[in-house]
């Protein structure tokens, strides 16, 4: 696989270089020159394959020129140790549950795959790699868990103080070991800006070897395509248009879905479901991309005012607004509407959903005008409702059993380093770290 930068540099780099660098030299995001495609015969057998085998097929298609097939299989067997089941709520209406990993969020797939892949690439290196990652919630815990005690790698996680749930904060601040949490007095956008500034700091990069584990890193992004194939494989109404509603913040998840469609997955439409941080839905209405400061909501992983991965989407579609608009529909919703959806799903379908999945439901409902049976539709449920226990219990009146994986970290002591949102403070810390 050869990749280039969304910022215009056509210098070709290998997947190994891309995953280790995180971002391109010119500050852009890596995107493949070509995305290979499955033969139609693959989709005739896909329903017979378990998820892990589907993931192996996709990884081999993408990376066979860079990683031996036996090593790809080893990475998949070690990283994808949990399922991504589909729950059918009604004819044409399905939920893809992406919360069965160790931190109960969809980002476990990408973080664990990236950790195992980097470990493979780094086995002959004699220097330490520092992963810098910004999180609005679930990324931090997934990366911390995925990279915990990985030899040759240390992780620094930047998260916005007071803007992640208690459970999310405990998950990313209680591991210790090679994991350090920086509590930033600002928003997720500030955290993301700080990480980008550190990557662009030539003097700092001469002293330390940095990479990122956000979805700006192609190594996090590619494995997220695995579960799109699994979603299609597990649904029943394959003769109907396949529609996927994606709760969207930094737009890595949607980008992975688009890449899956280029690989041949027969997705008819993508729905970009956002909270009131509606930069992309506004773009789809007007053709103008206008970043703005993020606003805090109850679906906090989507509180992004300048979604980085949209640059990849525009590059994939060659900056053709009409092509993007024809393939992606975008809708945004308020917290009150999100609460209403949580309640509605519980009452109609006896299903507990988290705020992000609820936004996905609202967007799909708006697109389908309640006529779900006209489509083979899937909503990506990106986190276990227990991670937003106060909100879900308050809205539904139902008690949620906290999974054992969460109970353990809630009993641990938070460990974080507080910093301002000024880059100088982060720079000083990194120079002495």
Q: What is the pLDDT of residues 185-212, one digit of tens each?
A: 999 889 989 998 998 899 999 999 998 8
Taking only the tens place, the pLDDT of each residue in 372-419 is 999 999 999 999 999 899 999 999 999 999 888 888 888 888 999 999
Whether residue 14 is contained in a domain is answered as no
Whether residue 354 is contained in a domain is answered as yes
- Do residue 261 and residue 391 come from a single domain? yes
Whether residue 255 is contained in a domain is answered as yes
pLDDT tops 80 at residue 157 = yes
pLDDT of residue 139: 80
- Do residue 208 and residue 342 come from a single domain? no
- Do residue 239 and residue 377 come from a single domain? yes
What is the extent of the structural domain holding 329? Answer: 82-101+220-396
Judging by DSSP bridges, how do beta strands 93-97 and 129-134 pair with one another?
A: unpaired
pLDDT of residue 27: 87
- Do residue 181 and residue 135 come from a single domain? yes
pLDDT of residue 321: 97
Whether residue 415 is contained in a domain is answered as yes
pLDDT of residue 54: 98
- Do residue 361 and residue 265 come from a single domain? yes
Whether residue 38 is contained in a domain is answered as no
- Do residue 385 and residue 244 come from a single domain? yes
Whether residue 115 is contained in a domain is answered as yes
| CA dist., res. 262 & res. 266, Å (int) | 9
Average of per-residue pLDDT values in the chain? 94
C-alpha distances out from residue 413 to 21, 166, 176, 301, 410, Å: 33, 12, 10, 23, 8
- Do residue 229 and residue 159 come from a single domain? no
Return the H-helix or E-strand segment holding 358.
Answer: helix 355-368
- Do residue 256 and residue 186 come from a single domain? no
Mean pLDDT for 106-120 is 93
- Do residue 207 and residue 307 come from a single domain? no
Q: Any idea what the CATH number is for the domain that residue 360 is in? A: 3.40.50.1100
Catalytic pick from 2, 10, 64, 107?
Answer: 107
Return the H-helix or E-strand segment holding 272.
Answer: strand 267-274
pLDDT of residue 135: 87
Whether residue 59 is contained in a domain is answered as no
For the whole model, what pTM was predicted? 0.91
Taking only the tens place, the pLDDT of each residue in 26-40 is 889 999 999 999 999
Whether residue 89 is contained in a domain is answered as yes
- Do residue 322 and residue 195 come from a single domain? no
- Do residue 229 and residue 343 come from a single domain? yes
Residue 107 known to be catalytic: yes
The total domain count for the chain is: 2
Mean pLDDT for 115-144 is 86
Contact at 8 Å (CB) between 364 and 314? no
- Do residue 152 and residue 128 come from a single domain? yes
Q: What proportion of the chain, given as a percentage, has pLDDT over 90?
A: 79
Contact at 8 Å (CB) between 79 and 115? yes
């Amino acid at each position: 696989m050869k990749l280039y930068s969304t910022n215009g540099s056509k210098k070709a780099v290998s997947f190994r270089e891309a995953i280790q660098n995180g971002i391109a030299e010119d500050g852009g995001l890596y995107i493949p020159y070509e995305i290979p495609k499955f033969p139609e015969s693959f989709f005739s057998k896909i329903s017979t394959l378990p998820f892990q085998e589907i993931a192996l097929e996709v990884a081999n298609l993408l990376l066979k020129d860079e990683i031996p097939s036996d090593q790809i299989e080893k990475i998949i067997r070690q990283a994808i140790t949990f399922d991504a089941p589909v729950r059918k709520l009604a004819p044409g209406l399905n939920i893809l549950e992406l919360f069965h990993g160790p931190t109960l969020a969809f980002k476990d797939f990408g973080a664990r795959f990236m950790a195992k892949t980097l470990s493979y690439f780094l086995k002959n290196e004699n220097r330490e790699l520092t992963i810098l990652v910004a999180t609005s919630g679930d990324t931090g815990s997934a990366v911390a868990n995925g990279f915990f005690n990985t030899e040759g790698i240390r992780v620094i996680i930047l998260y916005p103080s007071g803007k992640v749930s208690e459970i999310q904060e405990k998950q990313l601040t209680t591991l210790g070991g090679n994991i350090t949490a920086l509590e930033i007095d600002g928003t997720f956008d500030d955290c993301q800006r700080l990480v980008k500034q550190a990557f662009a700091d030539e003097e700092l990069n001469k002293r330390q070897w940095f990479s990122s584990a956000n979805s700006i890193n192609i190594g996090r992004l590619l494995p997220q395509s695995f579960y799109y194939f699994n979603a299609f494989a597990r649904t029943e109404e394959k003769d109907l248009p396949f529609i996927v509603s994606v709760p969207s913040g930094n737009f890595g998840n949607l980008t992975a879905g688009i890449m899956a469609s280029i690989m041949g997955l027969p997705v008819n439409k993508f729905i970009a479901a956002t909270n009131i941080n509606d930069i992309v839905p506004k773009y789809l209405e007007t053709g103008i991309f206008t970043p703005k400061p993020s606003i805090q909501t109850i679906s906090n992983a989507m509180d992004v005012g300048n979604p980085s991965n949209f640059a990849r989407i525009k590059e994939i579609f060659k900056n053709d607004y009409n092509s993007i608009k024809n393939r992606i529909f975008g809708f945004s919703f308020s917290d009150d509407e999100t609460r209403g959806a949580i309640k509605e799903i519980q009452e109609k379908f006896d299903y507990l959903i988290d705020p992000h999945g609820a936004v996905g439901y609202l967007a799909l409902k708006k697109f389908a005008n309640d006529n779900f049976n006209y489509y083979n539709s899937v909503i990506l449920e990106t986190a276990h409702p227990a991670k937003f226990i106060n909100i879900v219990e308050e809205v539904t009146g139902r008690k949620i059993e906290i999974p054992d994986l969460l109970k353990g970290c809630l009993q641990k002591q938070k460990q974080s380093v507080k910093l301002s949102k000024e880059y100088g403070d982060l720079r000083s810390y990194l120079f002495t770290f």
